[in-house]
Amino acid sequence: MLQEWSQFIQKVRNFFVEKGYLEVYTPILLPYPNIDLNVEPIEVRIGECGREKRLWLQTSPEFSMKKLLSKHKRDVFQITRVFRNNECGRLHKVEFSMLEWYKLDADYRYLIEEIGKLLSFLGISKDYRITRLEHAFEEYAGVVLSEDEEIFKNNLITYGYEFDEKEDWESLFFRIYIQVERYLGIDMPEFITHFPQRLSSYAKIKDGYAERFELYIKGVEIANGWTEETDLQVIKRRMEEYRGNRDLPIDEELLKAYEDFPPCAGCSIGLDRLFMVYKGLDSLEDIYF
């Protein structure tokens, strides 16, 4: 298993090197945390030169790689370890391996094609399908998805779903989406597209939808990618929103980088999960090394 993992990682690396990407390395300990609506960073207190410093373990190399992109304007990729607090279960670990890459002058559709080639290169699948999120909701949950909270709640009532009136749109969405996910990508890898603006993360918005996707294989979420939003004010507003009431500082270095940020698309893949489906395993616990 250990040897196969090593060969697997090397094949992933070779794929991107052969396509002209530059492999980069960025810090794991960060002066600013990654700010993501649904991810909790791990705070670390260290001593340096007689002073105590408050740092964070990276939940993704995203912010650090975007700073490189702003300065160097190169197609880049990275394979690294990332850390997320309060993760537990068959498909979740506090520490895991992540592949992240950015392609200049590209959008999310380019990334979908590129991932299709990567899956073929790795021998996982030669085919894939693309499904709009609302179509997946209708097919697997029998629910018409709406970004309007009142309409969405009325739709859920119509289809027999019960919920607390105090639950907000996001909690209801993810409760249904968890049910939908188990049916995605069963016979071949499946890209889910056309996410609501509420779930845009740092993606561009076009025609009322976020230009982002998620990849599923055998009911397991593998990848998350999007056309990058480049407007500094939009990014700043979203970071403030995603931070919420958490005691997390805004990354001023990243905001500075957005003053000269190139048009691009970026994607991350959980390599432990991809290896899991590659080997036909049922749980991350089965990767016993």
Residue 177, pLDDT score:
96
Whether 52 has a pLDDT exceeding 80, the answer reads yes
Quick: pLDDT tens for 220-266.
999 999 999 999 999 999 999 999 999 999 999 999 999 999 999 99
Is there a domain that residue 169 lies in? Answer: no
Is there a domain that residue 136 lies in? Answer: no
CATH no. for residue 124? Answer: 3.30.930.10
Helices (H), strands (E): how many in the chain?
Answer: 9, 12
- Alpha carbon distances (Å) from 262 to 61, 210, 232: 17, 19, 12
Is there a domain that residue 175 lies in? Answer: no
What whole-number distance in Å separates Cα of residue 101 and Cα of residue 225? 9
Is there a domain that residue 234 lies in? Answer: yes
Is there a domain that residue 226 lies in? Answer: yes
Residue 142, pLDDT score:
92
Is there a domain that residue 170 lies in? Answer: no
Mean pLDDT of 80-89: 94
User: Do 200 and 139 meet the contact criterion of CB atoms below 8 Å apart?
Assistant: no
Total structural domains within the chain: 1
User: Do 225 and 266 meet the contact criterion of CB atoms below 8 Å apart?
Assistant: yes
Q: Which domain holds residue 90?
A: 2-128+188-286
Is there a domain that residue 160 lies in? Answer: no
What whole-number distance in Å separates Cα of residue 125 and Cα of residue 166? 43
Is there a domain that residue 219 lies in? Answer: yes
Residue 88, pLDDT score:
87
- Alpha carbon distances (Å) from 36 to 217, 225, 240: 24, 14, 10
User: Global pTM?
Assistant: 0.94
